[in-house]
Amino acid sequence: MESVTHIVLLFCIISSSIVNSNQVETISPPILLSQYNVRHDAVTLSGFSSGSSMATQLHVSHSALFHGVALFSQAFYRCGPHSLVEFGLRCSKLGMGVFPYDFRLSIGDARRYEWMRLIDPLVNLRGQRIFVWIGELDEYVPLEMAMENAKFYETFTSNKSLIRTTVFHAKHLLPTTNFGDACDQDAGQNVYLGNCNYSGAHAALEFLLRDKANIINPFISTQMQNIPQEEGSLMAYDQSEFYSGRNITDEAMGTLGFIYVPKMCQPQFNIADEPCFLHVNFHGCNEWHPQVALRYIRNSGFLLVADANRILTVFPLTTRVPQNMDGCWDFFSYTGSLFATKKGKQIKIVKAIIDRILGKLK
Ligand SMILES: *[C@@H]1O[C@H](CO)[C@@H](O)[C@H](O)[C@H]1NC(C)=O
Ligand SMILES: *[C@@H]1O[C@H](CO)[C@@H](O)[C@H](O)[C@H]1NC(C)=O
Ligand SMILES: *[C@@H]1O[C@H](CO)[C@@H](O)[C@H](O)[C@H]1NC(C)=O
């Protein structure tokens, strides 16, 4: 375990985000998740860094459920999948591009998994919308590794115009309009959010849902000093009930996650009973602590985009365990070799969470 920790520190995928005492807010007791009135034909995913890995793993595993995915600042599906060392050497800047992992290996894995029925048929990916964002100054993720997310998906989607790749002059971060330091500065102390005069949350959801709705940008017509406040409810939910084993911590997932229900998705305000959209966002490494996660969630831009566009948004949380000291989502097989398939332990839990909201799981 010691060595794993050292490798992680060496890779610096993570700089420690310490809970800042003046940021602490009270977390209400977790609710039990229930079904919500959401569209089943436009469920989307996004993630940052290790959360991007989780988003693409869930997307490829259960492609029949989804409409698209947004991937921020990470290498492609199953890059360097056998260990953190392999990932570090072959998929991160630590390896200096000497022996890069070939994305065609990942395409082969996906086809093999499809044949073994460990993932949904890949034909479901045709017509899906894929958004890829990367900062060219990223300290950890090589630009070409992130760009190969697009090459991976091009193999399976029907139309290249359904894939958008955006490159910014930015470090390893999720871009926002107003939070953190400038885009070209290290964002480790700001929960990996950067002030880029650009909302990654809006850009991603606008691209993913543009064939379903006219997605409004809540930041555009607003003075920077006057960002609107969110109007919906950000609530903790009990995540452990979705794990049938003894203790959800065994899978490096937290006992609670967060759900954001925009006002217009709450039954008492949704008079016309119009379904909302459903989106799931996955945090990066070292954002597992609920207080840190809240800081990330509140400042990421997702909540205001959710309000403006009736998007119910779920933020599942990991936790820190000895085999995963930084609370990363599993992108290097610490929960088992099938981590990127329907049999993946974290994937099973998040799938059950989505099913509950869709009303498929009582
Ligand atoms: C690809 O998608 C774009 C945008 O949705 C559309 O305009 C174009 O006709 C599509 N091309 C093909 C070959 O389907
Ligand atoms: C921010 O971006 C908008 C376009 O999205 C642009 O009009 C504006 O000048 C930019 N502001 C700064 C400070 O760069
Ligand atoms: C689950 O395991 C963690 C770590 O071993 C422990 O701190 C926690 O109390 C356990 N929770 C339950 C409900 O047993």
Please, which residues have CB within 8 angstroms of residue 60's CB and are 6 or more apart in sequence? Answer: 77, 110, 113, 119, 122, 125, 340
Q: Which residue has 């890995």 as its token pair? A: 53
Whole-number Å distance, alpha carbon 98 to ligand 3 midpoint, is 42
Whether residue 337 has its Cβ less than 6 Å from ligand 3: no
Whether residue 222 has its Cβ less than 6 Å from ligand 3: no
Nearest Cα residue to atom 6 of ligand 1: 161
Rounded Cα distance, 359 and 128, in Å: 23
Whether residue 247 has its Cβ less than 6 Å from ligand 3: yes
- Give the CA dihedral 196, 201, 202, 205, nearest 10 degrees: 150
DSSP state of 347: H
**Residue of 126, 158, 161 best suited for mutating to test ligand 1, as the one with most atoms within 8 Å of CB:** 161
- Judged by its nearest atom, the ligand closest to the C-alpha of residue 207 is 1
- In order of 103, 219, 347, the CA distances from 203 in angstroms are 26, 11, 26
Whole-number Å distance, alpha carbon 338 to ligand 3 midpoint, is 24
Give the nearest ligand 3 atom to 247 CA.
Answer: 1
What is the structure's pLDDT at 26? Answer: 87
- Judged by its nearest atom, the ligand closest to the C-alpha of residue 219 is 2
**Tokens in use for 315?**
């933020």
Whether residue 35 has its Cβ less than 6 Å from ligand 3: no
- Judged by its nearest atom, the ligand closest to the C-alpha of residue 175 is 2
- E strand or H helix at 111, and its extent? helix 103-115
What is the structure's pLDDT at 270? Answer: 81
Whole-number Å distance, alpha carbon 48 to ligand 1 midpoint, is 28
Rounded Cα distance, 305 and 259, in Å: 14
What is the structure's pLDDT at 69? Answer: 98
* Residues within a 6 A CB radius of ligand 1: 159, 161
SS3 46: strand
SS3 189: helix
pLDDT along the chain (362 residues), means of 10: 40 46 77 96 98 98 98 98 95 90 98 98 97 97 97 93 98 96 96 96 98 93 67 96 93 97 91 92 96 96 96 98 95 97 98 96 64
Whole-number Å distance, alpha carbon 130 to ligand 1 midpoint, is 14
- Judged by its nearest atom, the ligand closest to the C-alpha of residue 243 is 3
Strands 311-315 and 256-261: what pairing? Answer: antiparallel
**Tokens in use for 199?**
């909302």
Whether residue 249 has its Cβ less than 6 Å from ligand 3: yes
Tabulate helix, strand, coil % of the chain (nearest 5). Answer: 35, 15, 50
Whole-number Å distance, alpha carbon 350 to ligand 3 midpoint, is 19
